[in-house]
Amino acid sequence: MGFDGAPVTFVCPYDAAALPATIIDHAENTHPEILSCDGVADSASYADPHDFCARLNGATRLRDGRPAAELAIEPERLAAVRRVVRGVASSVGLGEARVDDLVLAVHEVATNALLHGAEPVLLRVWCEREELVCEVIDCGGGISDPIAGQLNPEPWGPGAAACGRRACTATPSSTARTPPTAASRCTSR
């Protein structure tokens, strides 16, 4: 979508023998053509990007169990959000650059929840399976555009979703729309 209508061609290499089936499935869903040893063919499972992202966003559920950290977020407590995320991320051994990226992403998502969501707003952080998962939860209706944050924002326009998505690693940050709760998840490895 980011290059729709541009005179460019990309080849995205995927090692189908080494990658998990879920990754290959996502690649086939997000690429209109597939190049294999047999040549180029239309992807039989290509999905409209809005539909694909909406499906992924809808599949994201809130975590169960006790988080490593939990904090009610209020405008005057954004510094505490940054301290909590930095503390947990540093304690599990993330490198300084990854910690900085995650702190920035969670801060932007938390600010967005305060500005556009509905109170109460809550931060929950889990450490699991070599991942650090941060959820920002509010009682708003969620983000209506399923591809929010996937494309570069307009200069000087709203960009917290894009910032959050880009600062997190391979596991996508997603928005769950499970009324009456909206949650954004940032994951770092």
Which CATH superfamily is 62-188 part of? Histidine kinase-like ATPase, C-terminal domain (3.30.565.10)
Q: Does residue 29 contact residue 46 with C-beta atoms inside 8 Å? A: yes
Task: Quote the Cα angle for 90-93-98, to 5°.
Answer: 70
Residue 146 has what pLDDT?
61
Mean pLDDT by 10 residues, the chain (189 residues): 73 86 87 88 88 71 80 94 94 87 88 87 84 83 66 56 48 40 56
Q: What are the domain boundaries of the chain?
A: 1-46, 62-188
Residue 116 has what pLDDT?
84
- pTM over 0.75, yes/no: no
Residue 172 has what pLDDT?
34
Q: In which element (H, E) is residue 110 found?
A: helix 96-116
Residue 61 has what pLDDT?
62
Residue 174 has what pLDDT?
41
Q: Does residue 147 contact residue 1 with C-beta atoms inside 8 Å? A: yes
